[in-house]
Amino acid sequence: MSGKALLDQFGSLEDPRQSWKVLYPLAEILLCVLCATMAGADDFVEIERWARRKLDFLRRFLP
C-alpha cells in the first residue's frame, strides 16, 4: 500500500472526538502512531516522544 493510499484510508475514518477538543487531526495521530511503532516505540510515552521529534518532518507529506 502506498503512503498516499494509507493517508486516504486514515482520512476516510470518522473522528468521534468533540471538535472543540481536537488539537491534532485523526489522520495525523494515526500516522504518528504507525510510524513510531514501526520505529520501535512500544508505549504511549515513546510514541509521544517520537511524534514530537518527527511531526514537522511528517507534515511535509500530509495533504
Residue 7 lies in a domain: no
If you ran DSSP here, which 8-state letter would residue 53 be given? H
Full residue range of the structural domain in which residue 50 is found: 23-63
pLDDT of residue 2: 65
Cα–Cα distance for residue pair 61/4, rounded to 1 Å: 9
Residue 15 lies in a domain: no
pLDDT of residue 35: 93
Structurally, the chain folds into a number of domains equal to: 1
Enter the pTM of the model: 0.80
Residue 60: band (very low, low, confident or very high) from pLDDT cuts 50, 70, 90: confident
Q: How distant, in Å, are the alpha carbons of 33, 35, 48 from that of 30?
A: 5, 9, 12
Residue 11 lies in a domain: no
Residue 9 lies in a domain: no
Yes or no: say if 56 and 50 are a contact pair by the CB < 8 Å rule: no
Report pLDDT digits (tens) over 13-58: 899 999 999 999 998 899 899 999 999 999 999 999 999 999 899 8
pLDDT of residue 37: 97
If you ran DSSP here, which 8-state letter would residue 50 be given? H
